[in-house]
């Protein structure tokens, strides 16, 4: 077994490297785009406009209460239906972004709502409009809660992207499937992939913890 692990690592090291790259890339895409769209969804949900807030709530609930794998399948199959040709990687990325957006919008919303209402009132009493109060006063304070949670979401996404391997998009689990197909070995490549996932997640979570402590001190 140990022999086989050594063999897998030395013969397929570039494939593992590629897997790490794709896994990180998917997580970066999901969290970056998810943060941008999630901000809009959060603002929609908090809006006084009933239509906007209902749409946002429906979106969030839909994506949080169905399995990610099912969502990925749907995004994989839905584009060809409309004659749109997307690579599996692109289709899966869209699915991940849509899913992450739902989770991140809730992170941003609770971050904003954690800031005392008096801060908004003070800003508005000086003559700032809603958007100015949000940008200058509320969001900078909300960041303290939002940033660590976003970083945690990134760590979660690194693990969740393993589902993307269902569509052979080059992530770490895809690496396992490729090696498994070529060598008929199961456990050995799985162990290697597992160690890599653990190293990525564990290191990043520790970094998040440090970040959190730093921000708490300020």
Partner 1 sequence: MIRFEHISKNFGHLEVLKDITQHVNENEIVSLIGPSGSGKSTLLRCMNLLEVPTSGHIYLNGEDITAKGVNINLHRQKMGMVFQHFNVFPNMSVEENITMAPILLNKMGKEEAHIKAMNLLDRVGLRDKADVKPTKLSGGQKQRLAIVRALAMEPEVMLFDEPTSALDPEMVGEVLSVIRGLAKTGMTMMIVTHEMGFAREISDRVFFMNDGIIAEEGTPDKIFEAPENARLKDFLGKVL
State the nearest-atom distance from the C-beta of 116 to partner 1, in Å.
Answer: 7
Residue 141 engages partner 1 in binding (rule: CB under 8 A): yes
- 23/156 Cα distance (integer angstroms): 12
Rg (CA), the chain: 21
Which segment (8-16, 30-38, 118-126, 179-187) binds partner 1 by CB under 8 A?
Answer: 118-126
Residue 137 engages partner 1 in binding (rule: CB under 8 A): yes
Residue 121 engages partner 1 in binding (rule: CB under 8 A): yes
State the nearest-atom distance from the C-beta of 47 to partner 1, in Å.
Answer: 17
State the nearest-atom distance from the C-beta of 104 to partner 1, in Å.
Answer: 22
The CA-atom distances, in angstroms, between 122 and each of 144, 151, 182 are 20, 31, 65
- 213/218 Cα distance (integer angstroms): 9
Cβ partners under 8 Å of residue 101, min gap 6: 33, 34, 37, 38, 41, 63
State the nearest-atom distance from the C-beta of 137 to partner 1, in Å.
Answer: 6
Residue 129 engages partner 1 in binding (rule: CB under 8 A): yes
Q: Which one, 61 or 116, has the nearer CB to partner 1?
A: 116
CB 32 within 8 A of CB 184: no
Which residues bind to partner 1, rule: CB under 8 A?
Answer: 116, 118-119, 121-129, 132, 136-137, 140-141
């Amino acid at each position: 077994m140990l022999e086989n692990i050594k063999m897998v690592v030395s013969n397929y090291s570039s494939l593992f490297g590629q897997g790490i790259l794709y896994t990180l890339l998917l997580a970066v895409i999901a969290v970056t785009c998810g943060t941008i769209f999630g901000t809009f969804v959060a603002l929609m949900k908090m809006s006084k406009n009933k239509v906007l807030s209902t749409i946002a709530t429906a979106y969030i609930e839909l994506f949080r209460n169905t399995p990610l794998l099912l969502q990925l399948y749907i995004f994989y199959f839905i584009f060809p239906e409309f004659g749109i040709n997307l690579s599996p990687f692109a289709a899966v990325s869209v699915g991940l972004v849509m899913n992450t957006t739902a989770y991140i919008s809730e992170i941003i919303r609770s971050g904003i709502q954690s800031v005392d209402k008096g801060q908004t009132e003070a800003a508005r009493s000086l003559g700032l409009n809603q958007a100015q109060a949000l940008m200058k006063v509320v969001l900078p304070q909300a960041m303290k809660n939002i940033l660590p949670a976003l970083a945690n979401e990134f760590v979660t996404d690194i693990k969740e992207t393993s589902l993307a391997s269902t569509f052979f998009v080059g992530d770490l689990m895809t690496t396992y499937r490729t090696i498994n197909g070529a060598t008929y070995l199961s456990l050995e490549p799985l162990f290697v992939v597992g160690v890599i996932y653990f190293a990525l997640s564990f290191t990043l979570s520790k970094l998040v913890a440090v970040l959190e402590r730093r921000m708490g001190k300020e």
